[in-house]
């Protein structure tokens, strides 16, 4: 599909359809019709990274955006920061606007204001830090309070490269995720394990939810994650 050089109109998912951001905007009638007239469709998806301070939210974003790992001293995020990355998801250009929140308690009231606009949330804990895992329930309570009801949510256990320091077993992460009915995977911002997958999986889910093409099979996020996820150990594919 050809995309012109001019800045395309951005469509956002709202009430199960793609609409432009203006209040009361009509939904996108047909993907083919729009592509015929304009060359391509760009969808804007807002993704928010949440979880305790130090779990690796900023590093995960930098790994995804720049393919690099921020080694060295830990610089805690102040307030909120964002980066954009464009993906092509099943033939549609998806601009991910990724909000990197501060995990520190004192910034909580700043981040609360952003939940409402998020289409997807990646909730992280650190597999080498038990307290960050124990706090997941509190994060889920906060998410239920502030985020949209239909927000796409995924639980990530980060830092699996640190095998010798691991204190949260993969099975514990899986069990918690199952309890809350959210997809789960383990990641490493350091090695890059499953980082791209975490973002593409939520982008695919959102794209499929709001843009159903005729004859397209239903997309199942849980099944997709199960099929695509890679393990951190020696023997798990």
Ligand X SMILES: Nc1nc2c(ncn2[C@@H]2O[C@H](COP(=O)(O)OP(=O)(O)OP(=O)(O)O)[C@@H](O)[C@H]2O)c(=O)[nH]1
List interacting residues with ligand X (CB under 6 A): 53-59, 70-71, 74, 76-77, 102-104, 158-159, 161-162, 188-190
Closer CB to Mg ion, residue 58 or residue 128? 58
Closer CB to ligand X, residue 13 or residue 54? 54
Closer CB to Mg ion, residue 57 or residue 159? 57
Closer CB to ligand X, residue 108 or residue 144? 108
**Chosen from Mg ion, ligand X, none, partner binding at 53 (C-beta under 5 to 8 Å by type):** ligand X
**Chosen from Mg ion, ligand X, none, partner binding at 111 (C-beta under 5 to 8 Å by type):** none
Phi and psi, residue 143, nearest 5°: -60, -45
As a whole number of Å, the end-to-end CA separation of the chain is 34
Nearest to 176 by CA among 205, 190, 162, 156: 156
In the chain, what's the furthest Cα-to-Cα distance?
A: 56
Q: How far is the CB of 139 from Mg ion (least distance, A)?
A: 15
Does 158 contact Mg ion by CB under 5 A? no
Closer CB to Mg ion, residue 58 or residue 132? 58
The encoded tokens of residue 116 equal: 């409402």
**Chosen from Mg ion, ligand X, none, partner binding at 59 (C-beta under 5 to 8 Å by type):** ligand X
- Span 73-102, contacts to Mg ion by CB under 5 A: 77
- Cβ atoms of 44 and 207 closer than 8 Å: no
Q: How far is the CB of 194 from ligand X (least distance, A)?
A: 10
Three-state SS at 7: coil
Cβ atoms within 10 Å, residue 182: 19
- Cβ atoms of 10 and 44 closer than 8 Å: yes
Q: How far is the CB of 66 from ligand X (least distance, A)?
A: 13
Kind plus residue range of the DSSP H or E element containing 48 = strand 42-51
Q: Identify which range of 69-77, 138-146, 178-186, 215-223 contacts Mg ion by CB under 5 A.
A: 69-77
**Chosen from Mg ion, ligand X, none, partner binding at 198 (C-beta under 5 to 8 Å by type):** none
User: CA–CA separation, 161 vs 153, rounded Å?
Assistant: 23
3-class secondary structure per residue, 52-86: CCCCCHHHHHHHHHHCCCCCCCCCCCCCEEEEEEE
């Amino acid at each position: 599909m050809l995309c012109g050089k001019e800045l395309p109109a951005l469509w956002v998912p709202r009430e199960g359809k793609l609409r432009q951001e203006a209040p009361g905007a009509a939904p996108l009638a047909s993907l083919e019709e729009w592509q015929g007239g304009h060359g391509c469709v760009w969808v804007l998806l807002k993704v928010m990274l949440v979880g305790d301070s130090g779990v690796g939210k900023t590093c995960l974003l930098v790994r995804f955006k720049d393919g690099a790992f921020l080694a060295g001293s830990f610089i805690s995020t102040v307030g909120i920061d964002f980066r954009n990355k464009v993906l092509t998801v099943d033939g549609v250009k998806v601009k991910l606007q990724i909000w990197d929140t501060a995990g520190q308690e004192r910034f909580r009231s700043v981040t609360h204001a952003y939940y409402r606009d998020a289409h997807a949330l990646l909730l992280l804990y650190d597999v080498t830090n038990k307290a960050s895992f124990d706090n997941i329930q509190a994060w889920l309570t906060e998410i239920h309070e502030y985020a949209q009801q239909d927000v796409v949510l995924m639980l990530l256990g980060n830092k699996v490269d640190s095998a010798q320091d691991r204190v949260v077993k993969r099975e514990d992460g899986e069990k918690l995720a199952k309890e809350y009915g959210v997809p789960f995977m383990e990641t490493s911002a350091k090695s890059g394990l499953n980082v791209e997958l975490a973002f593409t999986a939520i982008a695919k889910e959102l794209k499929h939810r709001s843009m159903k093409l005729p004859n397209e099979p239903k997309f199942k996020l849980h099944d997709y994650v199960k099929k695509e996820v890679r393990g951190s150990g020696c023997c798990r594919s």
